[in-house]
Structure 1
Amino acid sequence: MKLLKTFTFLPLLCFGVGATEHHGTIELSLMNSVGSIHGDHYYANVTVGTPGQSQTVMIDTGSGTTIFAASNASFCTNSTLCPSTLNATQSSTLEVAYPGGLDSNYGDGTHLGGDLITDVVQISNLMISNVSMGLAHDIRWNYMPPVSGIMGLGYSNLNAVPMKMWNEVRQNPSFVETLVKAKAISSRLFSIYLNTPDLYGSILFGGIDNAKYNGPLTTLNCLSYPDHAIDSWYLKLQEVTMKPYDGPNQTLLRSTTLDPWVAIPDTGCAVWHLPTSAYHKVVGYAGVNPMTIAHERGFVRPCREVAYGNANATRFQIVFAGNGTNTASLDFELADIFAPLTQENGSMIADRYGQPLCRLQIIEVPEYQRVSLISNDVMRAGYWVFDLDNGQISLGQSNLRANISKVVRVQAGTNGLTQAIENLVFETQANKVDRMSGSTTHKLSTATNTIGYTTGAQFYTTSIVGHSSKSAPRLETQRRLTK
């Protein structure tokens, strides 16, 4: 979900279950809402406050602030609008650090305003004190997903504060920085493995999982504005190629030295942003029809026609680059950018012949914008390592449906990844990188209770999900677990 900064986008949002602590790393399971009316989003569970209140957060590489909906927010008039909220009056450890210090605006018109607070957060079996976060009292959201918050995974300079308070609170540490300051992890680094929609994915703080990707991991140096430190997940979109099964390959876009395209991998974005010319080429080869549902726009196709693994499937390849010499490619199928079309009650929408429909998850953006948000649908094809310390993203082809784990801790420093990964195509970051923010202190302790879960799974059957016709997990509110 992209914060409004220099560009304006149309972001959407993305869900979690279990947690595992390895030595010096923390891993959270991710669950998704692929095919729900709320869009394709990924979530994790944490606990906030004393006593702990179970919260469900969307993981978002496109923003830098962790924010929770306040129980007294005017938007949250019922549990349908806000399935879960944070009640400040019920936590004995919550403190308001900056009243009115939260002002978060997103490209789809979403606004989250309120206070900056600190409180205890439980992640996996670790308790961390004095964690900075936002408490949103003023919420404007066209269609709030079934979450109580957003976990911002960007740099702390993306903290969503009013301009008049920028100098006062801009040094607040991000959530990843807080984990480092609390000595829960060694490096400002996390890895994302979204997996297939019918299986849980994971986010791993402080390390990588060598079983979750195929081939090498390639390191790319993130881009920055001239005379500015690297403080965002910007890559160069070197080339996008469409490979139709019944025709020659087509170049959808290609960067040049004088006219580059910028790619922003955004787990909080549910639709791939393509320029007008590329958008119409994809629509032309996708075999879709315009939607005929009131108040809905876009293109659909029967799900059975875009199942994974078809011999006649159209395929795509994206080539990314950075400010170095390395390039990394990502391959995926047309089926990856389709998602089931559902109603509010979770049932699938069908055509007049009773065939469940799937929506094409792309959106048209102007050619002059020169920026493409890489949606979570596309990101599923990759294993992503985001390194804030070194201003780098390392990328490999995802080993989808992996059933083993080989977690390795990544130490801080420029050689952290080279020491943790054998099959690494590395490059050194020559540009200045935004450094750790703030001088906060945190207490780290072991939790005595398990995290309560605010979400569970219900199931539907569709050939578009999970490379087969198996059932896939979707979101559903359930009772909070207790120990």
Structure 2
Amino acid sequence: MKPSVGAAAAVALWGPAAVVSASVVSMDVMRTSEMHRGLSKRSTFVETLANNITGGAYYIDVTVGTPGTPARMVLDTGSSDAWIVSHTADLCTSRSLQVIHGDTCATTYDSAKSSSYSLQAADGFSIRYLDGSRAKGDYIKEDFTIGGTTIRSMQMGLAKETVRGTGILGVGFSTHVAAPEQYPNIMDELVRQGLIPAKVYSLWLNDRRSPSGRILFGGVDTQKFIGTLGVLPLIPDVSTGSITSFTVRMSSMSIEFSNKTVSEVPARNASGVPALLDSGTTLSYLPASMAEKVFRLTSAYTDTRPAGTGLTFVDCKLLDSERGLNMIFSFRSPGMNGAAEETTTIRVPAHEMVLDVIRGELEDLVPQDMPFPPRNTCLLGIQSTSGFASVASGLAESDWTLLGDTFLRSAYVVYGIDHRQVGLAQANLNATESKVVELSNSTATGLPRLTGLASQAPGTGTDGKPPATGTDAASKPNGAVRAARGSGGDMFAVLAVSGLFASLGGAFMAF
């Protein structure tokens, strides 16, 4: 059946997974809070430690093989390969490795128990992520069931060597897979096998204290966002000159304080900075010049000790003294039919950027000479890309932005691979209703500029009512945002982070 962009069906999305229609696959995206991975004084990159502290992993539950074996996978928009963990993986069978890496195997797969398994390339799978984690093993083909929909004979990695006990589901461009030769990834297979009409999906993570969000393959839920869905063109990667990642141009950023004064955080380049939207990364990263301005405005403190964390912290009192603080991210896009440029803005409230997660043994990891005591220390949801400069060949100034979960929880994002576009709007937090629009594979017209709710649904937002943002016409302030301390479950979570920024040319992906 050919889907119609204009045809919308109201549906209730309950339970862990549901097929919304013949052409839209929907399922829960769950947030882990397990006390699982160990901590180190200094990781190769600070994101590893940040992920452990904040509990930022978002995962989905799938089944692999015939009969289906349950598998838990971290959802990652910043990478392209799917891989699962073998029951014979070194981490799963070695207690010493579990101690070293501070992880165990959650769910594993045994090819001998599946009638649909086929070996594609023995020892052909090898991937490494920017945080230093890696996985190696075979490429296999296997039946893969997601949201009640089965993809037949999908290629994926089967990790026999890994430092993480949870696989990753990369939903990026297949041009960026780890294999020497490109192969169809999950998005390609969903379309090729007629399960969705176009390589497009939408992601709603919900707020930080919510246990789950929702992902829709092939559709958009207009009950999950506020205002008009801004449509942003993807931009070419810096090193390749091609579009192989969900990178858009962020035109500006500002901070609005409780008294409604606004301080601009200008980009070094007047045209803005490239920004990767990456659900596989917990925090958000700004170019050093922008990050330093944010740090000054929030009286933040960066741990620069040789054996320190490398992270930037703030006084938790901001959650009380600046309850109405919002960090405002702006993105410009061409207007429709030759109209003037449009600006899409996403407002991120204080409770999403001031993370009260430093407790217990974590207090020993932070500097003791900060201007605020360790017990009052919060992790700032924005960090500097300067920590990546030493490895970002060709980008010594680190003049790029990575927008991870601290940003994405406040946004509703439509990832249009076929359309080479991203749809962006303010998230309608804790929504309980759905109205799903199937998306066509038409690349001539691009993603539709759909309209969501006029404002935050009454009684659904846990931290006040973010304004309808979308495009300029819907960008009126709407009062203060009430911030509150996070729960203890925010600490110590498993996160298989990609941290991949494709504009770096994939230098940290495939080995």
- Post-superposition shift, 1:71? 2.1
Q: Evaluate the alpha carbon distance shift between residue 326 and residue 102 of structure 1 in structure 2; reply closer, same or farther with a 3 A threshold.
A: farther
The correspondence for 1:244, drawn from 243, 257, 260, is: 257
Q: Evaluate the alpha carbon distance shift between residue 53 and residue 344 of structure 1 in structure 2; reply closer, same or farther with a 3 A threshold.
A: farther
* Identity between Structure 1 and Structure 2 (%): 24
Q: Evaluate the alpha carbon distance shift between residue 373 and residue 26 of structure 1 in structure 2; reply closer, same or farther with a 3 A threshold.
A: same
The answer to whether the Cα contact below 8 Å between 1:40 and 1:270 also exists between their aligned partners in 2 is yes
The answer to whether the Cα contact below 8 Å between 2:319 and 2:483 also exists between their aligned partners in 1 is no
User: What whole-Å deviation, never above 9, does each CA across 1:158-185 have from its counterpart, x for those lacking one?
Assistant: 1112xxxx2xx31x11111111112111
- Map 1:252-271 onto structure 2 (within 5 A): 252-254=265-267, 256=269, 260-271=272-283
Q: Distance in 1 between matches of 2:315 and 2:322?
A: 17
Aligned to 1:158: 176
SS at match of 1:284: helix
- Post-superposition shift, 1:127? 2.2
Aligned to 1:234: 247
Does the alignment pair 1:369 with 2:398? yes
- Map 1:170-185 onto structure 2 (within 5 A): 170=182, 172-185=183-196
Does the alignment pair 1:43 with 2:64? no
User: What whole-Å deviation, never above 9, does each CA across 1:228-249 have from its counterpart, x for those lacking one?
Assistant: 5532211112111122346853
Q: Distance in 2 between matches of 1:114 and 1:399?
A: 41
Q: Which amino acid aligns with 1:83?
A: A
Does the alignment pair 1:329 with 2:345? yes
- Post-superposition shift, 1:152? 0.6
The correspondence for 1:400, drawn from 408, 415, 429, is: 429
Pick which of 198-207 and 325-334 moved more.
325-334
Q: Which amino acid aligns with 1:128?
A: I
Q: Distance in 2 between matches of 1:201 and 1:407?
A: 15
Aligned length: 409
Aligned to 1:223: 235
SS at match of 1:369: coil
Q: Evaluate the alpha carbon distance shift between residue 415 and residue 472 of structure 1 in structure 2; reply closer, same or farther with a 3 A threshold.
A: farther
Aligned to 2:37: none
- Map 1:351-370 onto structure 2 (within 5 A): 357-366=377-386, 368-370=397-399
Q: Evaluate the alpha carbon distance shift between residue 179 and residue 473 of structure 1 in structure 2; reply closer, same or farther with a 3 A threshold.
A: farther
Aligned to 1:212: 224
- Map 1:70-469 onto structure 2 (within 5 A): 70-76=86-92, 77-78=94-95, 80-139=103-162, 141=163, 144=164, 148-161=166-179, 166=180, 169-170=181-182, 172-199=183-210, 200-224=212-236, 229-245=242-258, 248-254=261-267, 256=269, 260-288=272-300, 296-301=309-314, 303=316, 305-306=318-319, 312-321=323-332, 325-341=341-357, 357-366=377-386, 368-414=397-443, 421=450, 468=484
**Higher RCO structure (Cα 8 Å, ≥6 apart):** 2
Q: Which amino acid aligns with 2:106?
A: P
More strand by share: 1
Q: Provide structure 1 residue ranges, at least 5 long, that are not aligned to the other structure.
A: 1-16, 425-461, 478-483
The answer to whether the Cα contact below 8 Å between 2:363 and 2:375 also exists between their aligned partners in 1 is no
User: What whole-Å deviation, never above 9, does each CA across 1:263-293 have from its counterpart, x for those lacking one?
Assistant: 0011011121122232222223334556799
User: What whole-Å deviation, never above 9, does each CA across 1:25-82 have from its counterpart, x for those lacking one?
Assistant: 1111112136854741211110111222111111111111111122222233357422
Q: Distance in 2 between matches of 1:354 and 1:252?
A: 28
The answer to whether the Cα contact below 8 Å between 2:357 and 2:490 also exists between their aligned partners in 1 is no
- Post-superposition shift, 1:297? 4.0
Q: Distance in 1 between matches of 2:433 and 2:157?
A: 36
SS at match of 1:219: strand
Q: Distance in 1 between matches of 2:170 and 2:442?
A: 23
Alignment root-mean-square deviation, CA:
3.8
| TM-score, normalization by structure 2 | 0.70
The answer to whether the Cα contact below 8 Å between 2:225 and 2:452 also exists between their aligned partners in 1 is no
- Post-superposition shift, 1:326? 4.0
User: What whole-Å deviation, never above 9, does each CA across 1:196-246 have from its counterpart, x for those lacking one?
Assistant: 122221111000000001000011111125995532211112111122346
Q: Distance in 2 between matches of 1:206 and 1:47?
A: 20
Q: Evaluate the alpha carbon distance shift between residue 250 and residue 345 of structure 1 in structure 2; reply closer, same or farther with a 3 A threshold.
A: closer
The answer to whether the Cα contact below 8 Å between 1:246 and 1:312 also exists between their aligned partners in 2 is no
Q: Provide structure 2 residue ranges, at least 5 long, that are not aligned to the other structure.
A: 1-14, 34-50, 336-340, 387-395, 454-462, 464-481, 494-511
The answer to whether the Cα contact below 8 Å between 1:193 and 1:203 also exists between their aligned partners in 2 is yes
Q: Distance in 2 between matches of 1:476 and 1:328?
A: 34
Does the alignment pair 1:63 with 2:79? yes
Q: Evaluate the alpha carbon distance shift between residue 26 and residue 329 of structure 1 in structure 2; reply closer, same or farther with a 3 A threshold.
A: same
Q: Distance in 2 between matches of 1:345 and 1:120?
A: 43
Q: Distance in 2 between matches of 1:219 and 1:343?
A: 40
SS at match of 2:407: helix
Q: Which amino acid aligns with 1:368?
A: E
The answer to whether the Cα contact below 8 Å between 1:223 and 1:230 also exists between their aligned partners in 2 is yes
Q: Distance in 2 between matches of 1:472 and 1:21?
A: 34
Q: Evaluate the alpha carbon distance shift between residue 345 and residue 312 of structure 1 in structure 2; reply closer, same or farther with a 3 A threshold.
A: closer
- Post-superposition shift, 1:360? 1.4
SS at match of 1:368: coil
Q: Distance in 1 between matches of 2:303 and 2:130?
A: 24
Aligned to 1:18: 16
Q: Evaluate the alpha carbon distance shift between residue 418 and residue 179 of structure 1 in structure 2; reply closer, same or farther with a 3 A threshold.
A: closer
Q: Evaluate the alpha carbon distance shift between residue 218 and residue 296 of structure 1 in structure 2; reply closer, same or farther with a 3 A threshold.
A: same
Q: Which amino acid aligns with 1:335?
A: H
Pick which of 357-366 and 185-194 moved more.
357-366
Q: Distance in 1 between matches of 2:434 and 2:110?
A: 37
Q: Distance in 1 between matches of 2:233 and 2:425?
A: 15
Q: Distance in 2 between matches of 1:228 and 1:287?
A: 38
